[in-house]
Amino acid sequence: MTSTPPLPKASLYYYNKSVWASAPLLALEEKGYGADEVDLKEVDLSTGENFTPAYLRINNNATVPTLVVPLQNTLDPEIESRYKAIKDTKAIVEFLDRSRSPQSRTHSTSSAPAPSLAPATIAFSSTSNKIIELLHSEAGDPNALMFMNGRNEEQLKKLSESLKPILVAKCDALDQLIEENKQAEVKVSEKTTRFWEMKRVATSMILDVLEDGEKPTSDLDDQAKGKRGEYFKAAAQAWAGLKDVLVQLSKEIIGPYALGDQLSIADLHLAAWTARIAMLAGGEASDDGNTVVRKLEEHIGDSFSLPKDFSVAEARRRAGLPASNIPPTERQARLAAFWDAIKERPSWKKVYADGLH
């Protein structure tokens, strides 16, 4: 008797310090996927591994996360399995949610429950989509905010210390790929070369400013002073643009989770995004929600303040957290209530075990 060969595994390409790869990593934990169901494959963004032709064949945007899944309708074992690559966070999280229901544990060693994370009603679905859209909008882009996290000399110096080595390695990797391709017998497409060159230019523009990051402005020549001035202007704009995103989010989040007391897909995006924004504002994984919101408000500056309109006791009760001793009149920002709820979850503790990223 021949037994059916097991389905090939899916592969999640991720990087452990990536914002958006953290959303599917949280999904794997929340859905109780077993290690036999998804292979984790790390792509080192800090050395430009995402730009290699091998990775570009998987995801031509050169971003993580990517989920490569076997197509299930290859019934004939003689036919090699075919795969498709899902290349954006929203689609990956939705796919992971759909692919494991409480009844579909047949191919897994995991016996963990797999609650549905999809919004249950059309109204919830609309709120969920609005939240996810805001988090992935240009104004909310957590990666852009990281590159723009220097609005004065002191911040720029700190940013330069952490980012310069990564950007140098990225430029070196791109230079090497461009150079090796010139010598190669079989060359990559012109589109790929142009993509590398474009990325090289974009990276070196920021690197130009960070190279001098430790120098006071008074020590710079006129050209470098000009570039720093432009950068400060763009950085101020980027952080000012975040205010609107935060205000909109506060209106949409029902609390303490995005859609109320049940975790849903939007929370996985919100958790990953908030962790990065909190880190940029000097927050730490051990901070409570009110501390994170205070640090964020101070970091944004300009007397920015999020509405404090959510009952702390109510938020904690809904999240299943102890709520005694909390005066019924105490209020907090919805993002603070969300932070307190999400950071108690085993999935969050696992993904952020080494700190915020």
By CB under 6 A, name the binding residues for ligand GSH.
18-20, 45, 50, 62-65, 88-89, 136, 143
Nearer to ligand GSH, 90 or 228 (CB): 90
State the Cα–Cα distance between residues 22 and 270, nearest whole angstrom.
10
Residue 224 burial (CB count, 10 A): 16
State the Cα–Cα distance between residues 6 and 107, nearest whole angstrom.
8
Nearer to ligand GSH, 63 or 290 (CB): 63
State the Cα–Cα distance between residues 223 and 208, nearest whole angstrom.
11
Nearer to ligand GSH, 18 or 127 (CB): 18
Which residue, 85, 62, 84, is CA-closest to 15?
62
Nearer to ligand GSH, 96 or 319 (CB): 96
Contact 97, 267 (CB under 8 A): no
Q: How far is the CB of 63 from ligand GSH (least distance, A)?
A: 3
Nearer to ligand GSH, 65 or 283 (CB): 65
Q: How far is the CB of 276 from ligand GSH (least distance, A)?
A: 8
Q: How far is the CB of 18 from ligand GSH (least distance, A)?
A: 4
- SS3 sequence of 256-281: CECCECCCCHHHHHHHHHHHHHHHHC
State the Cα–Cα distance between residues 202 and 350, nearest whole angstrom.
34
Q: Which residue is nearest to ligand GSH (CB)?
A: 63
Q: How far is the CB of 210 from ligand GSH (least distance, A)?
A: 15
Nearer to ligand GSH, 228 or 357 (CB): 357
Contact 9, 37 (CB under 8 A): yes
Two structure tokens written together for 177: 């790929």
Q: How far is the CB of 272 from ligand GSH (least distance, A)?
A: 8
Q: How far is the CB of 118 from ligand GSH (least distance, A)?
A: 18
